[in-house]
Amino acid sequence: MNKELEELRQNYMKHEFTEGIALESPIAQFKVWFEEAAGSGNIEPNAMALATATPEGRPSVRMVLLKGFSAEHGFVFYTNYQSRKGHDLSINSSAALLFWWPELERQIRIEGNVIVAPTEISDAYFRNRPAESRLGAAASPQSQIIASREALEERFQKLQEEFPYGNIARPEHWGGYMLQPNYFEFWQGRSSRLHDRIAYTPLNDNNWLRQRLAP
């Protein structure tokens, strides 16, 4: 088995990413790559790994879904504030995101500080979720130990009976976060493992320094 793993490899040859191609704004560059990923056949191009850590440095990572991005708000996602990631972020706001789009042989790393989204943004998003998703958010004590699958489904069923159309208010323990970026790295797979890596670090007045990193 280990020998088979050692021999697994892919030679990346689809695209290149040079300093001349890289846009001045990393948000603008992200938008270009995201739209290309969305058109590449990827079933969930907004899936991203979110890494958090405790103040002692114990890391934790999981997949979440990007639900918005802009220069003003950063990168927006929603979750249970009482989950493990919510607990981590309440005491250590530093976090990192990773997007991986194998169809394009690309990944993007983003680092920054996370803040809680304004109430009106979380309320608006929650109202637009499907009814079952709203009920599921209210029913699930995310990351907590539960007795059984049946117990979870029973909680959901009770809420479904109480709110048959899913018209439940957004729970106080559920809402949005915004990662405000201070580092981007765009990675484009290239042949011979000589990949293109362009990093963006902030200068001032919304300007960013672009630098090539060795693969």
**pLDDT one-digit tens code per residue, 16-46:** 999 999 999 999 999 999 999 999 999 999 9
Q: What is the domain class of 13-121+173-212 according to CATH?
A: mainly beta
Structure tokens at 25: 């704004």
Rounded-to-integer distance, Cα 31 and Cα 13, Å: 22
Q: Which residues contact 215 (CB under 8 A, 6 or more apart)?
A: 190, 193, 194, 195, 196, 197
Sign of CA dihedral 156, 68, 58, 185: positive
User: Taking the domains of the chain in order of start, what are their residue ranges?
Assistant: 13-121+173-212
Mean pLDDT, rounded, for 47-73: 96
Closest CA to 175 of 114, 213, 125: 125
> What is this structure's pTM?
0.91
Mean pLDDT, rounded, for 164-168: 86
Rounded-to-integer distance, Cα 180 and Cα 185, Å: 15
- Rounded to a whole number of angstroms, the CA Rg of the chain reads 20
Report the C-alpha dihedral over residues 149, 152, 157, 160, rounded to 10 degrees: -140
pLDDT > 90? residue 143? no
Find out whether 70 and 56 touch, Cβ atoms under 8 Å: no
